Amino acid sequence: MSALDPDPGPPPVGGEAAEVLVTIERFLADQQPGEASGTLTRLLEDIALAGKLIASRTRRAGLTELLGKAGVVNVQGEDQKLLDVYADEVMTSLLGGHGRVCAIVSEEQAEVRVLDPDAPYVVVHDPMDGSSNIDANVSIGTIFGVFRREDPTAEPVQTDWLRPGRDLVAAGYVLYGTSTMLVYSVGQGVHAFTLDPEVGEFLGTWTDLRFPDDAAYYSLNFASLPHWDSGMTRFVEWLNRDDTPTLSQRYIGSAVADFHRNLLHGGVYGYPGEIDRPEGKLRLVYEGAPLAFLAAQAGGRGSDGARDLLDITPTDLHERTPVFLGNADLVDQLERCFADGE
Ligand code: AHG
Ligand code: MN
Ligand code: MN
């Protein structure tokens, strides 16, 4: 194939290339014709618009002095980057005020924000994931999950948002990479859309994405190897058990980007607990659970090493958990490696 050949070839993934040109708004509406009010559809459209705004600002980051720190420390004790703050504000301003979103849980906010007490949905999000990569022009993303309240007429209560991932009705991410891509599921498979920046629309790229059976990658930060326990050591030995390993190692340090690559090409991403930090680094509510929901919808799994991430009920908004996401057979194997030491 020459560099000028317009044929991109078959998708390198376990999904179907979109057959017709379709915007995300049209796809969402067609996918959920039974949803009486269309409220969830419009909520997801709001998130798509937030993704466009954040993508636009991300592309201009180097031009508009957005690189660097905002000068404040967030609830995790981490420096907030300006893009973290901007992305958090965009999500809040677009999701509030329509009677759709009762409350928002954000990595960047210590407390839950109740926007509209009578609204039916709760959104959890990590507005800017992988923000340590911003300065270096590496892919970053926004992760989101949506819960439907059991009783929207009642006062909002903690159990509206401290819920296991299995209760999610939608989840997804926007990846700000070489292109901007929105990947989401409402429990009917995983679908991916690419932003055409000239037209300003997310256009269908793949429907029904599935982790390919032949996984290509594992994604772990091996600098932490001395801090991992024996279960992880067994898993690493298993990954490298042959003279000619079938999996390559790839680690970006943006969970969204690592997850996305492994979704397309097959693999497992992990942020393990450590001996002195058994809870790991990633947050269950707005990182682990939404990505586990997507993984399950794509035929894969999410685990904390022993339990399915979707089964864990959080007790704190910013609860941390070890996170493993990817092909089901790889996550199963990882759990066996942890269980072997018990
Ligand atoms: P965030 O930018 O939202 O704080 O999340 C960063 C997370 C995750 O995206 C990534 O996989 C991990 O931190 C990288 O951490 P290490 O640099 O310790 O590997
Ligand atoms: Mn994150
Ligand atoms: Mn973040």
pLDDT recorded at residue 11? 46
Beta bridge partners of 21: none
Q: How far is the CA of 6 from the centre of ligand 2 (A)?
A: 36
pLDDT recorded at residue 135? 84
pLDDT recorded at residue 10? 44
- What is the Cα–Cα distance from 283 to 312, expressed in whole angstroms? 12
Ligand nearest to the CA of 107: 3
Token readout for 242 is 């042959």
Which residue, by CA, sits nearest to atom 6 of ligand 1? 130
pLDDT recorded at residue 67? 66
Neighbour tally for 147: CB within 10 Å: 25
pLDDT recorded at residue 330? 97
Q: How far is the CA of 34 from the centre of ligand 2 (A)?
A: 34
Ligand nearest to the CA of 91: 3
The average pLDDT across 185-191 equals: 96
Query: For residue 30, what are the CA distances in angstroms to 26, 33, 137, 250, 263?
Result: 6, 6, 36, 36, 24
Pocket test for ligand 1, best of 282, 291, 323 (most atoms within 8 A of CB): 282
Q: Using a 6 Å cutoff on CB, does residue 253 contact ligand 1?
A: yes
Q: Report the percentage of the chain scoring pLDDT > 90.
A: 77
Q: Using a 6 Å cutoff on CB, does residue 254 contact ligand 1?
A: yes
The average pLDDT across 271-286 equals: 98
The average pLDDT across 257-270 equals: 97
- The structure's pTM equals 0.93
Q: Which of 257, 101, 255 is nearest to 175 (CA)?
A: 257
Domains (ranges, CATH) in the chain? 22-207 (3.30.540.10), 217-339 (3.40.190.80)
Scan for tokens 């070489």, then name that residue.
178
H-assigned helices in the chain: 24-31, 39-59, 82-95, 230-239, 255-265, 289-297, 328-340
Q: Using a 6 Å cutoff on CB, does residue 335 contact ligand 1?
A: no
Q: How far is the CA of 130 from the centre of ligand 3 (A)?
A: 6
pLDDT recorded at residue 73? 79
Q: Using a 6 Å cutoff on CB, does residue 139 contact ligand 1?
A: no
| Ligand 1 atom nearest to 78, measured from its CA | 4
Pocket test for ligand 1, best of 271, 274, 283 (most atoms within 8 A of CB): 271
- Whether residue 5 is predicted with pLDDT greater than 80 in this model: the reply is no
pLDDT recorded at residue 65? 64
Token readout for 192 is 């991916």
- Whether residue 140 is predicted with pLDDT greater than 70 in this model: the reply is yes
| Ligand 1 atom nearest to 130, measured from its CA | 2
Q: Using a 6 Å cutoff on CB, does residue 221 contact ligand 1?
A: yes
Strand 180-185 relative to strand 201-210, pairing = unpaired
Q: What is the pLDDT of residues 78-123, one digit of tens each?
A: 766 689 999 999 999 999 999 999 999 999 999 999 999 999 999 9
- Whether residue 77 is predicted with pLDDT greater than 90 in this model: the reply is no
Q: How far is the CA of 253 from the centre of ligand 3 (A)?
A: 12
In degrees and rounded to multiples of 5, residue 27 shows phi and psi of -60, -45
- What is the Cα–Cα distance from 43 to 95, expressed in whole angstroms? 7
Pocket test for ligand 1, best of 132, 252, 258 (most atoms within 8 A of CB): 132
Exposure of 224 by Cβ count < 10 A (0-12 exposed, 13-18 middle, 19+ buried)?
middle
Q: Residue 35 — very low, low, confident or very high, per pLDDT cuts 50/70/90? A: low
| Ligand 1 atom nearest to 126, measured from its CA | 3
- Whether residue 7 is predicted with pLDDT greater than 80 in this model: the reply is no
Residues 65, 57 contacting (CB under 8 angstroms):
no
Q: What is the pLDDT of residues 235-251, one digit of tens each?
A: 999 998 887 778 999 99
Q: Which of 181, 333, 331, 206 is nearest to 268 (CA)?
A: 331
Q: Which of 6, 76, 77, 18 is nearest to 287 (CA)?
A: 76
